[in-house]
Amino acid sequence: MKRLLLAALLLLLPLAAHAQGLPAISLTEGPEGTSYSLSLQIVALMTALTVLPSILLGMTAFTRIIIVLSILRQALGTQQTPPNQVLVALALFLTFFIMQPTFTQVYDQALSPYLDGQMEAQPAFDAASHIVKGFLIENTRQNDLLMFQHLAGDAPYANNDAVPLPVLLPAYMTSELKTAFQIGFLIYLPFLVIDMVVASILMALGMMMLSPMLVSLPLKLLLFVLVDGWALTVGSLAATYGLGG
């Protein structure tokens, strides 16, 4: 992650320095088309940065992780504990851990050669796109990819590089949502059994005025602590991406 942040700063600082002596907006018509001034490129880059977090989160493991953690908190019945900030922070750190091999490949094979001047921008983008597509396709259900392929009206793709990102990204997000809810169901089931058992016992004892949730909450917390639930959940999520196994 440090490498990515450093690389982003290295990209922005030279652009800002060169742009100080240029007009804010300048368009040049030439035989090869319209070229834009460096300052205008910086404006476009800063505009793109506003949507970049959403794009990056949609291309990583963050979606699956945050949904599973949210379902787990609801299954425990602890209301806002852990708070949203803690869940998001845990999801982000776990996302960086899972995506580290992919980020390292992008840095070594695309970003680092580009920063060293050994590779042009377009080949570097193609190399990075190939690595990211490999991760996305590996974790995308074939049925979801085929559905969006048919919706786009495309013919079957020859290889991973031929799959366009506008088709791959929604297919990956849909696949992640389905997987997250499947994992969430498996997590929710044992806590639901505890709630049902506690409610049945209270009804049999005639204690219908006592809330079953009030009694089952400490039992669920005790069970979760005894099985080391957080480590088990986080480890299982990492294993779904081929880590920790």
Write the pLDDT tens digit of every residue in 17-60: 444 444 444 545 555 555 545 555 566 667 767 777 777 778 88
* pTM score of the predicted model: 0.74
Residues 39, 45: Cα–Cα separation, whole Å: 10
User: Which tens digit of pLDDT belongs to each residue from 182-217?
Assistant: 999 999 998 888 888 888 888 888 777 777 777 888
Nearest-CA neighbor of 192 among 227, 210, 215, 216?
Answer: 216
- DSSP structural state of residue 26: -
Q: Where are the alpha helices (DSSP H) in the chain?
A: 2-19, 38-58, 62-76, 84-106, 112-115, 121-138, 142-152, 165-204, 212-226, 229-240
